[in-house]
Chain A
Amino acid sequence: MGSYIVRRLFIAVPVFFGITVLSFLIMNLAPGNPVDMLINPNIPKELLELKREKLGLNDPLYVQYANWLGGILRGDLGYSFSSYAPVSELIGKRIGPTLLLAAASLLIGLLIAIPVGVISAVKRNSKLDYFLTGMTFLGISIPPFFLGLGLIYITGIQLKWLPTGGISTLGGDGGTGDVLLHMILPVTVLGAAIAGKKVRYVRASMLEVLDQDFLRTARAKGLRELVVTNKHALRNALIPVIAVVGAEIPLLLGGSIVIEQVFQWPGIGQLTMEAILSRDYPVLMGLNLIAACVVLLINLFTDVLYAAADPRITYG
């Protein structure tokens, strides 16, 4: 197993550089550059040119990339073009809130999805199943930003129960309770979206397992139905779900952009949005780097988990 992981890590290195080259190229193909943001008849062209020169935007692409890569190898992610803050600091500040939001939403999502999926499969084609499938469908089809705005309107503005955005009260103590209160709405929205998607996987996977012979054997041995479903069926059904959940994590890190915008959640998503709109290349590259690492590690982790869970797979 150890050598398998090491080999996978070695393969990850060229993949990783491939990702950085591609993202660097795509980023630079997008029209507009950081200096364009400053266009203003008030600023002489010469000054813009000077800025372009200082930021290295006049260098050929491969030189820009090499400079960036050189920095990475020295452990330096560079400085933001707009705020001149170190990129590592910008990302460092934002990664915590995003991880918190992602982990909590994933946990809530799975806590809903697994039981609902199982019940739905066990009671297939019953009224309960139809109801649950209907709710799931609703969960998938309501766009998260819409649900978010609706919840803000009802619980934040009309009822004044919950804060409408941010991670803590401005000027408050920033304590755990305060953060938890601010988490309720975004976690609900993201958790609902995750649950919606996962219920279908759990249900499908469970249905497949329920039909299999070994369960009939288990029942024939006289095991109670609850034991059959929860111990034998569920554990087998969850194996393919692992892969899907693994794939969800990188999506959660990058894909919560909309939710972070709606709730002004100070995470990676919001930072990405700002960096894209101002064409802040060093910040974007830093974010890409983190995302690539996360995807590669999660994939590796999922594969190992999968192999550990399913005896039919051997470390190759």
Chain B
Amino acid sequence: MNRYRRLSLLIISTAAILLLAACSQSSEANKGTQNQPTQQATTKVAQGKKKLTIGIVNAPVTLNQINTQDNSASLAPIGLLNDALLDVTESAEFIPKLAESIKTKDKLNYTIKLRPDAKWNDGTPFTTADVAFTLKLALHADVETSFKLNFIEGLNDFGKLGKGVKEIAGLHVIDKHTFEIKAKTPIDPLVFNERFGAKVYYLPEHLLKDVDPAKLSTHPYFQKPDVTNGPYRFAAYEQGQYVELTKNEKYYLGAPKIDSIFFKVLPAANLVAQLQTGEVHMNSLPVGLVPITDYDKVKSFDNVNVTSASASEPAELFFNVEKLPNKKVRQAIAYALNRPLIVEQLLKGQAEIIDGGIPSSHPYFNKDITPYPYDPEKAKQLLQEAGFDSSRKLAFLIPIGNKVREQAADILVQNLEAVGLQIDVQQYDFPTLIDKVEKGEHDITIFTRDYYIEPSLYFTTYKSDDPESVIRYNNPVVDELIAQGEQEIDEAKRHEIYNRLQEVLHEDVPTLAVYSEKRLQVVSKDVLAGKPLNVGTFNNVNEWDLAVK
């Protein structure tokens, strides 16, 4: 009997210990967040406050404004916390933010005037001292940054200062609100505006001036960036769950109308559900995509407005040109694909067919190129002309994660098999896929590139001097045109060069776009002003408003 009592005691105590451990742990976790004054402030008067929830599917990985790692999910909250000199609108126009003006006479020297009233959210004025501090620190040899400023004089080819160099030769501070940037060679203002004006965010010198550059990335400031200069300020960040931002009362363009904004991380299926229940007010692009397969469903919700953005950067096939050297084979594949079917059936007509990687809304898109039509007979004929060995299996590597792209790839495989090609489909998560592609294990792969305002960035992948390139392409004509395009600063001539380049690439087919999705912008009818933009940013957020229920 005694032994049994001991046993039951043991069982009960085990369960109790487990529960106690769990409870104490979670109450500690709760305490952690509640101790923050901002959090408490939002909780106390939670009712009358305007709270906007934006749904995203991928979790932001960082809030570091000088090293965003080009992570689209991180760019959304970072863009609300920080202002750049300029903002980009949906139609790729630049509007002034921290900068009053950016002027150049020779496309070599750029003079930037800051708004005199710009300030950090702790009230400290934002001046050229912050600009100089940020640039020197971010471009320091030991600091990781996502800035791409290699055109500035004094920086090396990949846009960093050399070891031991502390000053940037191309940066001249004139007074508290004026500074100059000197480029190595003349540079298109469009490029300058994108890479310097819109993509560079700043660090508060008064807070970080004593930090050791080598230890910058792990500094606590980047876990809780509470001093920033954007319309919203940091409130809470739970990795994988949400980012909470509260309005910056001291915002120099006027205090925002919405009190707090939540970026809520959730799977795509839940995103649709929560847009319906009203838990999420809008989606974010391109990381909060409402699956286009849910188009009809979302259209039927009566509490949201659904619009389609202009056609975005396409899902693109990348051929391993070393393994498929004959351009007739690649052209045959282009003819074999039933892209109209994918657009009509899978994407409910919410997409466009183009051949190149530049989206049709881009100023440098070549409108004169007609996409390869769906013509399986022509494809068979070309394959025969090329003498393609039909017993050879083509490795088609497909990344998992984007359902629509996976389904489209399924159709593509059927199309290719219909013209007599043998396809070995391999699906991988993205890091695995990239590893295999870099080793050249693929014949064909599919993924989507980012959106670049600066056109030359679309072509770097076609250069022949990159041994690890996805496509392993070598074409002297293309190399020459790319080099010309990078150096040309006359806009009309640049258009000519890039039009010609797109023609050559269209003929040669080292890559082939499959479809450009028109992403769905779903916004609750409670939102009076504001919507997500295709390029992954938000404009004039301080003017956004929400109906009070």
Pick from A44, A93, A96, A102: contact of B157, CB under 8 Å: A44
Contact partners of A95 in chain B: CB under 8 A: 25
B20 (CB) vs chain A CBs: closest residue: A103
Report yes or no: B26 in contact with A164, Cβ–Cβ below 8 A.
Answer: no
Contact partners of A31 in chain B: CB under 8 A: 428, 431-432, 435-436
Contact partners of B150 in chain A: CB under 8 A: 44
Q: Which residues of A in the span 134-154 have a Cβ within 8 Å of any Cβ on B?
A: 149, 152-153
9 closest cross-chain pairs (CB), A and B: A32-B431, A96-B25, A99-B22, A96-B26, A31-B435, A100-B22, A32-B435, A46-B158, A82-B61
Report yes or no: A42 in contact with B457, Cβ–Cβ below 8 A.
Answer: yes
A163 (CB) vs chain B CBs: closest residue: B279
- Residue in A82, A106, A170 whose Cβ sees the most chain B Cβ within 10 Å: A170
Digit string of B273-315 for contact with A (CB within 8 Å is 1, else 0)? 1101101000000000000000000000000000000000000
Contact partners of B239 in chain A: CB under 8 A: 83, 85, 90, 93, 271, 274
Report yes or no: B267 in contact with A261, Cβ–Cβ below 8 A.
Answer: yes
Report yes or no: B262 in contact with A170, Cβ–Cβ below 8 A.
Answer: yes
Pick from B11, B22, B276, B460: contact of A102, CB under 8 Å: B22
Contact partners of B457 in chain A: CB under 8 A: 41-42
**Contact (A82, B10) CB under 8 Å given A179-B26, A278-B61:** no
B94 at the interface (CB under 8 A from A): no
Q: Which residues of B in the span 49-70 have a Cβ within 8 Å of any Cβ on A?
A: 51, 53, 59, 61-62, 64, 69-70
Contact partners of B276 in chain A: CB under 8 A: 157
Cα distance, A107 to B8, chains bound together (Å)? 15
Report yes or no: B240 in contact with A271, Cβ–Cβ below 8 A.
Answer: yes
B514 at the interface (CB under 8 A from A): no
B217 at the interface (CB under 8 A from A): yes
A22 at the interface (CB under 8 A from B): no
Contacts A/B (CB < 8 Å), 24 sampled: A31-B431, A32-B430, A32-B431, A36-B430, A36-B431, A37-B430, A38-B69, A38-B70, A42-B148, A44-B159, A46-B158, A50-B144, A82-B61, A83-B61, A96-B26, A156-B273, A156-B277, A157-B277, A173-B43, A266-B238, A274-B239, A279-B431, A309-B6, A311-B3
Contact partners of B431 in chain A: CB under 8 A: 31-34, 36-37, 277-279
Pick from A32, A42, A308: contact of B7, CB under 8 Å: A308
Interface size class of A (residues with CB under 8 A): 35 or more
Report yes or no: A277 in contact with B429, Cβ–Cβ below 8 A.
Answer: yes
Query: What's the least CB distance linking B43 to chain A, in Å?
Result: 5
B403 at the interface (CB under 8 A from A): no
Contact partners of B15 in chain A: CB under 8 A: 103, 106-107, 110
Report yes or no: A99 in contact with B25, Cβ–Cβ below 8 A.
Answer: yes
Cα distance, A278 to B275, chains bound together (Å)? 28
Digit string of B146-181 for contact with A (CB within 8 Å is 1, else 0)? 101010000001111000000000000000000000
Digit string of B86-108 for contact with A (CB within 8 Å is 1, else 0)? 00000000000000000000000
**Contact (A42, B241) CB under 8 Å given A32-B434, A174-B34, A277-B430:** no
Contact partners of B157 in chain A: CB under 8 A: 44, 46
Report yes or no: A41 in contact with B460, Cβ–Cβ below 8 A.
Answer: yes
Contact partners of B436 in chain A: CB under 8 A: 31
Contact partners of A86 in chain B: CB under 8 A: 218
Digit string of A278-308 for contact with B (CB within 8 Å is 1, else 0)? 1100000000000000000000010001001
Cα distance, A97 to B466, chains bound together (Å)? 47
Query: What's the least CB distance linking A282 to chain B, in Å?
Result: 11
- Residue in A45, A86, A264 whose Cβ sees the most chain B Cβ within 10 Å: A264
Report yes or no: B29 in contact with A97, Cβ–Cβ below 8 A.
Answer: yes
Contact partners of B10 in chain A: CB under 8 A: 305, 308-309
B223 at the interface (CB under 8 A from A): yes
**Contact (A238, B30) CB under 8 Å given A95-B25, A170-B244:** no
Query: What's the least CB distance linking A185 to chain B, in Å?
Result: 12
Pick from B7, B64, B262, B270: contact of A264, CB under 8 Å: B270
A270 at the interface (CB under 8 A from B): yes
Report yes or no: B29 in contact with A36, Cβ–Cβ below 8 A.
Answer: no
Pick from A34, A46, A84, A270: contact of B62, CB under 8 Å: A84
Cα distance, A278 to B10, chains bound together (Å)? 42
The residues of B with any CB-CB pair to A shorter than 8 Å are 3-4, 6-8, 10-11, 14-15, 18-19, 21-23, 25-26, 28-30, 32-34, 42-43, 46, 51, 53, 59, 61-62, 64, 69-71, 144, 146, 148, 150, 157-160, 217-218, 222-223, 238-242, 244, 260, 262, 264-267, 269-270, 273-274, 276-277, 279, 428-436, 438, 449-450, 452, 457-458, 460-461, 466, 468
Digit string of A8-35 for contact with B (CB within 8 Å is 1, else 0)? 0000000000000000000000111110
Cα distance, A266 to B64, chains bound together (Å)? 22
A65 at the interface (CB under 8 A from B): no
Cα distance, A86 to B220, chains bound together (Å)? 10
Digit string of A153-192 for contact with B (CB within 8 Å is 1, else 0)? 1001100100011110011111000010000000000000
Report yes or no: A171 in contact with B42, Cβ–Cβ below 8 A.
Answer: yes
Cα distance, A123 to B11, chains bound together (Å)? 26
A47 at the interface (CB under 8 A from B): yes
Pick from B7, B223, B434: contact of A235, CB under 8 Å: B7
Cα distance, A266 to B33, chains bound together (Å)? 14
Query: What's the least CB distance linking A104 to chain B, in Å?
Result: 8
Pick from A82, A249, A261, A262: contact of B69, CB under 8 Å: A82
Report yes or no: A164 in contact with B62, Cβ–Cβ below 8 A.
Answer: no
Cα distance, A33 to B276, chains bound together (Å)? 38
Cα distance, A242 to B8, chains bound together (Å)? 11
Cα distance, A198 to B239, chains bound together (Å)? 34
Query: What's the least CB distance linking A228 to chain B, in Å?
Result: 14
Report yes or no: B468 in contact with A45, Cβ–Cβ below 8 A.
Answer: yes
Pick from A36, A153, A174, A231: contact of B434, CB under 8 Å: A36
Report yes or no: B273 in contact with A41, Cβ–Cβ below 8 A.
Answer: no
A149 (CB) vs chain B CBs: closest residue: B269
A226 at the interface (CB under 8 A from B): no
Query: What's the least CB distance linking A147 to chain B, in Å?
Result: 15
Query: What's the least CB distance linking A26 to chain B, in Å?
Result: 14
A54 at the interface (CB under 8 A from B): yes
Contact partners of B53 in chain A: CB under 8 A: 170
Cα distance, A13 to B233, chains bound together (Å)? 47
A212 at the interface (CB under 8 A from B): no
Contact partners of A164 in chain B: CB under 8 A: 270, 273-274, 277, 279
Pick from A30, A231, A239, A271: contact of B432, CB under 8 Å: A30
Pick from A103, A166, A279: contact of B241, CB under 8 Å: A166
Digit string of A27-70 for contact with B (CB within 8 Å is 1, else 0)? 00011111011111111111100110010000000000000000
Digit string of A198-220 for contact with B (CB within 8 Å is 1, else 0)? 00000000000000000000000
Contact partners of B32 in chain A: CB under 8 A: 93
Cα distance, A252 to B270, chains bound together (Å)? 24
